[in-house]
Amino acid sequence: MNVANPPKFGMGAPVRRVEDAAFITGKGRFTDDVAAEGALHAHVVRSPHAHASFVIGNIKEARNAPGVALVLVHADIAQYNDVVCQTLLPQVDGTPINPKNIPLLCKDVVRHVGDAVAFVVAESLTAAREAAELIEIDYEILNVTVGTEESLSDNAPLVYPDRKNNLAYELEFLKSEGVAEVFANAAHVCELKVINNRLVSNYLETRACLAEWSNEDNRFTLTTGSQGVHSVKRTVCGILNLEPAQLRVITPDVGGGFGTKVFVYREYPLALIAAKLSGKPVKWTGDRSEHFMSDAHGRDNVTTMRMAMDENGKFLALDIDIIAAMGAYLHTFGPFIATLGATIGTGVYDIAAAYMHIRGVYSNTVPTDAYRGAGRPEAIYALERLVDKCAFELGLDVIEIRRRNLISPDQMPYTTPFGRLYDVGEFEGHLDEVLDKSDWAGFEQRKELAKTKGNIRGIGIATYIEACAFAGSEPATINLNNDGSTTILIGTQSNGQGHKTAYAQLAADTLGLDIEEVEVRQGDTDELASGGGTGGSRSIPIGAPSVQCASDDLAVKIKAIATDQLEASVQDLELKNGAVRVVGTDRTISFADIANAAKEPDDISGFGEVKQEEATYPNGSHICEVEIDPETGVAEIVAYTIVDDFGVIVNPVLLEGQIHGGVVQAAGQALMEKTVYDEDGQLLSASYMDYRMPRAADFPFISFDTRNVPSTTNAMGIKGAGEAGTIGATPAVMNAVVDALKREYGISDIDMPATPIAIWRAIQAA
């Protein structure tokens, strides 16, 4: 992005990330780097079977093994609670969802490979693993179901005997006879069924925790990577029946989250239990294989969408049917994910009527939950694929059908059939700009050039919107320190986004400091009275206004102290270079002297809490071009162009990094990432040997520009951006793949991931 005459700090400044120096020089401090004297090491005994009843026999030999401190099984911890689902939505019949929650340790049945059976704690990890081999477990293998749609069939094995057809829940929104009537009378009805493939998060830093117990304080300390310490604290207290004062949660640096580190996993309360029982700190660090088998997976939906249209291709009504894989248990927010996404199911289009039907299904697989975008990429993917199919069936250009149906600026604010209130949006504006920047009109020449290399070329577009940075607030405090520096305390949690840079640049600009003189502290429940954490692209839109408010508050207090010291009125004072100066003179007082002159701590502490009443709605247009080698089926992204609307931009450098990362993550889903279970429920893609991850060499330069309309629902006009790349990219990439295959072979449909073998087989069958 090009920024003309950017400010040094403050809103819109392209400040480079202050966090990176520590990370690239190996000075980051992640959970596994945190040591405690005399710490024991834990190992989880996991089920090798996807579905089995079991009996634990002799444990004595394991408990007496060298270096072993504890071996915990279900009977040892039966007084504690399960890890519970927190989104029990009302179902079709009006009853709340009745969940199957995650036991800390399974009692007598395991329901997916990797399910936890025992927790072994020893002086070393090697000793714990060796002792685990001595535990006698007698498994009786049961029938298994793994397919998302197949698990709903009448003949599918049951994950739970009391759940007919493995139905976890059934939801319905906007049930109306009017929708059915529109479909019955429509000139055209187009239908598309798509699979949103299951994904494994694969953040760089695997999960870990350090649990400590203090007899003296009657209190636990849990150190773990998270996306918000307060949500972890609340959940763990609920599991272990603790009072809030009995638990401190600390999160140091975090090596990626993508939604999957929001949640509390069974290892955290287990380690705390073990720490109290043993009287020593207990550390657990998961390896990459455990990540594949125990951390919540993402996506895994089968979506059928139908669009009713008039004779001119005007969209009249949308019908959405979603089968959402829940896995073996209902994870923290699992049932909410498909629902959240489907609320923006009509996208940027003026569709008067809509209906949504969602069924969650149990299967003998790892539970699913929020993964970057949390339902919104799934919904927009299905919609944008359907829009292209509508165009094909009506003989319209894919751009023209979008133009005929886009919500116009004069319709704003616009309420969707699912109750989303779009405040602003100029959708055709960024559509026009991305067409120009991508040279859409010149595609035919590039397609012919590809043929000279023996390749086929396709072009695809996606025009998207999302709801994020939902209603709420994030309090912020900024304190002036005795040395003249400042410290911001806020309850969001950076896991790669660059929060320390974004918050610090706002405070530095307001207070006249260098950015190095602003420290941002997150991740300690003892320092923060509250905190909403990071998720749903909320941190900067919700956190930044509070940081700005707190900085303004501190600036007023600093000047109030300076008026006495400098014998000048407030109106004559300015903050610059870490000091207060009387404008037009050389009379100054340093921030350090201000801090020392303060009578009370509150005199040099600024506070801000800006409450937001409605979500923000970032939107944009993505265009992707691919070349496919018909001999091998390999699809290569050869051009990618974006024009997005993120409202007011805090830092264009951070923004562009977020968008690039989201696009790569989504393109990985579209072309290569594939989670594969066999018929016995074994996870065949349980390592990087079998699970293909996107690499830098897989992508061309990404052209990224913005055409921004400030949000009216956010105090600073900001719209969330952390998930947007994943929402626009999967349909753009797959529409390009389908375009190439349709032009050359008449292939009008292919599901993600469009791997080389999938494309090659489709070509051979054409």
Q: Give yes or no for a cis peptide into 753 (omega within 30° of 0).
A: yes
> At residue 2, does pLDDT exceed 80?
no
553-568 pLDDT per residue, tens: 999 999 999 999 999 9
CA 547 to chain centre: 23
**Cα separation, 502 vs 548, whole angstroms:** 11
The C-alpha angle 624, 626, 631, rounded to 5 degrees, equals 165
> At residue 3, does pLDDT exceed 90?
no
Residue 114 lies in a domain: yes
Among candidate residues 14, 3, 5, the one with its CA nearest the CA of residue 498: 14
315-333 pLDDT per residue, tens: 999 999 999 999 999 999 9
pLDDT for position 118: 98
Among candidate residues 247, 250, 252, the one with its CA nearest the CA of residue 269: 247
Q: End of a domain among 571, 590, 608? A: 608
Residue 649 lies in a domain: yes
Q: What is the CATH number of the domain that holds 331?
A: 3.30.365.10
Q: Are 630 and 735 found together in one domain?
A: yes
639-674 pLDDT per residue, tens: 999 999 999 999 999 999 999 999 999 999 999 999
Rounded mean pLDDT of 527-556?
96
CA distances from 579 to 255, 304, 355, 614 (A): 36, 62, 60, 38
CA distances from 672 to 209, 636, 762 (A): 31, 11, 16
> At residue 388, does pLDDT exceed 60?
yes
Residue 158 lies in a domain: no
148-178 pLDDT per residue, tens: 999 999 999 999 999 999 999 999 988 777 8
Angle between helices 724-745 and 756-765 (to 10 degrees): 30
Under the banding of pLDDT at 50, 70 and 90, the label for residue 314 is very high
Q: Are 560 and 638 found together in one domain?
A: no
- Domain, as residue range, for 495: 20-28+472-608
Residue 379 lies in a domain: yes
Q: Are 74 and 87 found together in one domain?
A: yes
Q: What is the CATH number of the domain that holds 245?
A: 3.90.1170.50
pLDDT for position 177: 76
Under the banding of pLDDT at 50, 70 and 90, the label for residue 44 is very high
**Cα separation, 745 vs 766, whole angstroms:** 6
Count of structural domains, the chain = 3
CA 304 to chain centre: 24
Q: Are 454 and 482 found together in one domain?
A: no
Residue 553 in tokens:
């508050």
Residue 620 lies in a domain: yes
Q: How many other C-beta atoms are found inside a 10 Å radius of the C-beta of residue 85?
A: 25
Q: Are 541 and 661 found together in one domain?
A: no
pLDDT for position 4: 56
Among candidate residues 691, 673, 677, 674, the one with its CA nearest the CA of residue 145: 677
CA distances from 700 to 395, 625, 628, 630, 637 (A): 32, 10, 15, 20, 7
* Residues in CB range of 10: below 8 A, 6 or more apart: 505, 506, 508, 509, 510
Q: Are 110 and 83 found together in one domain?
A: yes
CB 752 within 8 A of CB 303: no
CA distances from 352 to 182, 206, 347 (A): 10, 45, 12
Q: Are 421 and 448 found together in one domain?
A: yes
39 DSSP assignment: -
Q: Are 424 and 388 found together in one domain?
A: yes
Q: Give yes or no for a cis peptide into 413 (omega within 30° of 0).
A: yes
> At residue 7, does pLDDT exceed 90?
no
Mean of per-residue pLDDT scores for the chain: 96
Residue 313 lies in a domain: yes
Residue type, 713: T
> At residue 66, does pLDDT exceed 70?
yes
**Cα separation, 41 vs 70, whole angstroms:** 10
Q: End of a domain among 588, 608, 628? A: 608
**Cα separation, 451 vs 347, whole angstroms:** 35
Q: Are 371 and 447 found together in one domain?
A: yes
Residue 280 lies in a domain: yes
Q: End of a domain among 294, 318, 345? A: 294
Q: How many other C-beta atoms are found inside a 10 Å radius of the C-beta of residue 596?
A: 12
Q: Are 325 and 465 found together in one domain?
A: yes
CA 101 to chain centre: 22
Residue 378 in tokens:
């799934």
Under the banding of pLDDT at 50, 70 and 90, the label for residue 614 is very high
174-220 pLDDT per residue, tens: 877 789 999 999 999 999 999 999 999 999 999 999 999 999 999 99
Angle between helices 427-437 and 398-405 (to 10 degrees): 160
Q: Are 289 and 315 found together in one domain?
A: no
Among candidate residues 190, 208, 255, 527, the one with its CA nearest the CA of residue 387: 190
551-610 pLDDT per residue, tens: 999 999 999 999 999 999 999 999 999 999 999 999 999 999 999 999 999 999 999 999
* Residues in CB range of 696: below 8 A, 6 or more apart: none
Residue 640 lies in a domain: yes
**Cα separation, 24 vs 40, whole angstroms:** 30
CB 327 within 8 A of CB 112: yes
Place of tokens 């087989």: 761
pLDDT for position 5: 59
Task: Give the 3-state secondary structure of residue 322.
Answer: strand
CB 303 within 8 A of CB 173: no
Q: Are 495 and 369 found together in one domain?
A: no
Residue 53 in tokens:
């009843």
